[in-house]
Each structure stands twice: as C-alpha cells, then as structure tokens.
Amino acid sequence: MTTDIMGDVLANGPVLLWALGAGVVVVAILLAALLAPAKTTILVDTPTSTARADMRLLWGFGPKLTARALPHAKPGDPVTHFNDVVRVGNAFLTPGIADVAAHTIQRLMANGARVAHTSLAINTGDYAKDLVVQTGVQAALTLTPAAVRDSVTFSKCAAPGAELTAKFELFASPMQLASIWNGLRKSRPAREFVKRLRRKPKPVKKPVREVRAT
C-alpha cells in the first residue's frame, strides 16, 4: 500500500508542483492587489446619496474595485436624514465628531492626495446651533496642517438641513483605505453621530388650551 502511494506521488510530482506553484502565484497576486497602492478617487455627495471609493488596483494598471459606504438603491436621491433639521442639529453637535473627521481627512492627505476638498453646508434654522457647529469645525482644524485647513470649507446651506461633499484623488492600498475607514466608522463620535442621525425626533406636544368655566 505504501509503495503504491509513493509511486502515485512520484508519478504525479510535476503536476503537484505546478499546482502548488500556481497557488503561490495566485496568493502573491492577491496580496499585491491588497497591499500595493491603488489609484483611488473618493467621492462624497449627500444630496445624491453618494459615498464611494473607486480604486484602480496595482498603481492604476489593475482591475477596478468600488467600495460604497452608502446604499445606492435609489441613486440621485438625497440622504433623507440630512434634510431633517432636528436630526442634523443633534448629529453635528456630537462631541468629538469634528476632531475625528479632521483626523480622517489628514490621514487621507498624508498619502499625497493630488485633489482634496471637503465642503460642509448646514442650516438647522437655529443661528446659535449653526455657530456652535462651525466653531467646532474650526477648532478641530486648528490642530491640523495648513493644507488640511485649506481643503475644508464651511458655509450655510440654502435649504434646511445639511450637505456634505468631498473629493479626494490619491494613491493608497485597499488595506490603507480600509484602515482609515474603520478608524472613522468605529470611533465613538462617529457611532454616536450615526445614532443621533437615525433617531426619530420626539413629537412636539401641543400646548394644552386652558378651558375656563363660565
């Protein structure tokens, strides 16, 4: 029995070596695709429900891969919650959210982004609340390099709610992008931001009319 098995192994040796070699090559290619820089364009546009990263792997010469952070069942529609002034006001007042966002932008730009621009427009209908959000953004940006500060603009939204747009063009590996995304997504401020944005506003109670006896 042992002699037969050894005979089969020796007879099929070249085939096994070729299969092993092919497996090693496939693994090497997959690792290279994940670890090598990819030509990446990151687009965020809440008015059209866009938040995705388009990656051309292997320095731009490999296949194209798209990663989405928002569902695209209804392309072109705005992110509904961003039109709700109550939700937007509560979400953008999340402690630490501006700092985490600024740090994320800084990490993206550290990869030598050729294009980097982020714009936040907000209109909660409450001037004091809008000012607090703006002050928080400016305070977070003061701790970042000048290039990061210059890439971010803040304005008042024409319509009630908020609009967030961003575009980055850079070379970064899928592993690097995943690390940056997970750092943002799993942070406590980001998780609280999403929770507040999804929370339904409490219904406003109508004042009870006083009924006087006649």
- pLDDT over 90 (residue 12): no
Task: Please report which confidence band the pLDDT of residue 179 belongs to, taking 50, 70 and 90 as the band edges.
Answer: very high
Whole-number mean pLDDT of the chain?
A: 81
Q: Which of 12-26, 44-58, 92-106, 107-121 has the lowest average pLDDT? A: 12-26
Q: Rounded to whole angstroms, what are the CA distances from 133 to 82, 122, 152, 189?
A: 15, 9, 14, 14
- Could you tell me whether strands 152-156 and 115-123 are parallel, antiparallel, or unpaired per DSSP bridges? parallel
- pLDDT of res. 8: 53
Please give the structure tokens belonging to residue 179. 């690390």
Contacts of 180 (CB under 8 A, 6+ apart): 104, 107, 108, 172
Task: Please report which confidence band the pLDDT of residue 7 belongs to, taking 50, 70 and 90 as the band edges.
Answer: low
- pLDDT of res. 13: 53
CA distance 165 to 75: 16
Contact status, residue 75 vs residue 49, Cβ threshold 8 Å: yes
- pLDDT over 80 (residue 79): no
Mean pLDDT across the stretch 21-37? 54
- pLDDT of res. 59: 82
- pLDDT over 70 (residue 21): no
Torsion 91-92-97-102 (CA) sign: positive
- pLDDT of res. 42: 95
pTM of the model: 0.78
Task: Please report which confidence band the pLDDT of residue 185 belongs to, taking 50, 70 and 90 as the band edges.
Answer: very high
CB count within 10 Å of CB 43 equals: 15
Mean pLDDT across the stretch 144-173? 93
Q: What percent of the chain has pLDDT over 70?
A: 74
CA distance 186 to 206: 39
Contact status, residue 51 vs residue 184, Cβ threshold 8 Å: no
- pLDDT over 60 (residue 128): yes
- pLDDT over 50 (residue 120): yes
Alpha helix stretches (DSSP H) within 36-173? 85-91, 97-109, 127-141, 146-150
Q: Work out the widest C-alpha separation in the chain, in whole angstroms.
A: 113
Residue type at 52?
R
**Which of 51, 52, 67, 60 is CA-nearest to residue 170?**
60
Domain residue spans in the chain? Answer: 38-69+78-198
CA distance 35 to 56: 13
> Tokens 């999340």 — which residue?
94
For 44-62, what is each residue's pLDDT tens digit?
A: 999 888 899 999 988 888 8
Contact status, residue 169 vs residue 113, Cβ threshold 8 Å: yes
